[in-house]
């Protein structure tokens, strides 16, 4: 079966960006993760070990976001790869990173990247 687990709105403060100010000051980010898996066993057994643990997803996202990157594309790739490598039972994962109020000389609420595969 195909099932989806989402961990949305992971709010983090990180120091990603190409500008020196972004490295020094940092900014606010929101990460959304969508995982395609099969949690049929967990539905019947009520066993956390038979499904994706949200705590693991949050831990991986926080760990990778704490490592500075110039591009959110790069940190998004690291998160995506770590999820697929470290979390059992993932068929497909989608990672969305939203950077709030980016310094791009305009009145822009946010920019985002999405990696899926």
Determine the pLDDT at residue 28: 97
Q: State pLDDT tens for residues 60-108.
A: 999 999 999 999 999 999 999 999 999 989 999 999 999 999 888 889 9
Instruction: State how far the Cα of 113 lies from the Cα of 23, in Å rounded to an integer.
Output: 19
- The residues annotated with a catalytic role in the active site are 99
In CATH terms, 3-116 corresponds, of 3.30.70.980, 3.40.50.1110, 1.10.10.1590, 3.30.1130.10, to 3.30.1130.10
Beta-strand runs (E) in the chain: 3-14, 27-37, 92-100, 110-116
In 5-71, alpha helices (H): 20-25, 40-45, 54-65
pLDDT at 113 over 90: yes
User: Sign of torsion, CA 52 53 54 60?
Assistant: negative
Instruction: State how far the Cα of 26 lies from the Cα of 16, in Å rounded to an integer.
Output: 7
Determine the pLDDT at residue 104: 85
Contacts of the segment 38-44: beta carbons below 8 A, 24+ positions apart: 38/1, 38/2, 38/3, 38/89, 38/91, 39/3, 39/5, 39/89, 40/1, 40/3
Q: How many CB atoms lie within 10 A of CB 70?
A: 13
- The structural domains of the chain, with segments of one domain joined by +, span 3-116
């Amino acid at each position: 079966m195909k099932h989806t687990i989402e961990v949305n709105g992971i709010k983090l403060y990180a120091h990603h960006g190409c500008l020196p100010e972004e490295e020094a000051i940092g900014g606010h980010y929101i990460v959304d993760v969508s995982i395609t898996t099969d949690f049929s066993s967990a539905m019947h057994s009520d066993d956390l070990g038979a499904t994706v643990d949200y705590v693991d997803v949050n831990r991986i996202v926080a760990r990778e976001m704490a490592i500075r990157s110039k591009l959110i594309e790069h940190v998004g790739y690291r998160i995506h790869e770590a999820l697929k490598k470290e979390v059992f039972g993932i068929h497909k994962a989608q990672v969305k990173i939203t950077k709030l109020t980016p310094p791009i000389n305009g009145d822009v609420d946010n920019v985002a990247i999405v990696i899926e595969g």
